[in-house]
Amino acid sequence: MKKAEERIEEIVRILRLTYPDSRTALYHSNPFQILIATILSAQCTDKKVNEITPGLLAKYPTAADFARADPAKLEKEIRPTGFFRNKTRSIIGASQRIVEGYEGRVPDTMEDLITLPGVARKTANIVLSSGFQKAEGIAVDTHVKRISGLLGLTRQKEPGKIEQDLLRIVPREAWLDFFTEAVIVTTTQAVDTARQLVGLVNEDRDRISGLGRAAASALRVHRALMGHPITASGWLVEKTGITPATVNKCLGHLERLGIVRELTSRKRNRVFSYAGYLEIMNQGTELPG
């Protein structure tokens, strides 16, 4: 298997293509709400948290409201999420700190967030990414830990060390989405699909590398097909900047290798499918439209 640094581009591409609208499953409409929801989500399902937060946040809409909440009453209200005593202390403590130190607004830096009671790097990363669209790290929970290990991105077991491995290889522009994509992959039982796709890409690239001088151009065509698994040769010419004759030669090589399949018999603008990708994703090979 190739090193993680060599595979991460394909992994990120596959995750973005497969889950283009990834976002946290926790209901929220502002940074304070995602902070409360994230604290409640510790050792609890997002579904259960989402059952509780609408009523809870309607009763306590601001940090000031939580700061003066009756601990005994709040414990009863969040009891279904588990560890309710610790969570009550964290919510009230964080809210008091926000009121006293930040004028009632959730701070928007890692340095300030981790000073709040009950907030460590994982929670702070989720608040920054989902509440402020800021990428200062990658939140590592059980889902990210699992998918990162299965995809061979880290051998570490501790969240902090896993995050450092991921920050080293995952492009910064992908930090915001990597957490939610990894959660979606694991919670939708799609780990096998992700692994199959990464394996497919690596296998294809290895076979293409054996084409000699034609390999470089063929790899560019293959990379373009990752974003458009059913596409026309004319689009590939525009996307890759390669001449029509060279694109057609590359498609011929890929077809002989079994990587693509021609869907039409047009001579000037032939249509091909990236058959392996479509098969793994359980998609058909019919022409769109």
Could you give the residue numbers annotated as active site? 122, 141
Q: Distance (Å, rounded) from C-alpha 176 to C-alpha 133?
A: 7
Phi, psi of 66, deg, nearest 5? -70, -35
Q: Which amino acid is at 8?
A: I
Q: How far apart are CA 280 and CA 231, in angstroms?
A: 18
- The encoded tokens of residue 100 equal 């006293």
CB-based contacts of 278, cutoff 8 Å, min separation 6: 229, 230, 284, 285
Placement of tokens 């989500």 in the chain: 41
Angle in degrees, 0-180, between the axes of helices 159-169 and 4-18, rounded to the nearest 10: 90
Residue type, 185: V
Return the half-sphere exposure (C-beta side, CA atoms, 13 A cut-off) of residue 208.
Answer: 24
The SS3 assignment for 230 reads strand
Beta-strand runs (E) in the chain:
230-232, 261-262, 271-273
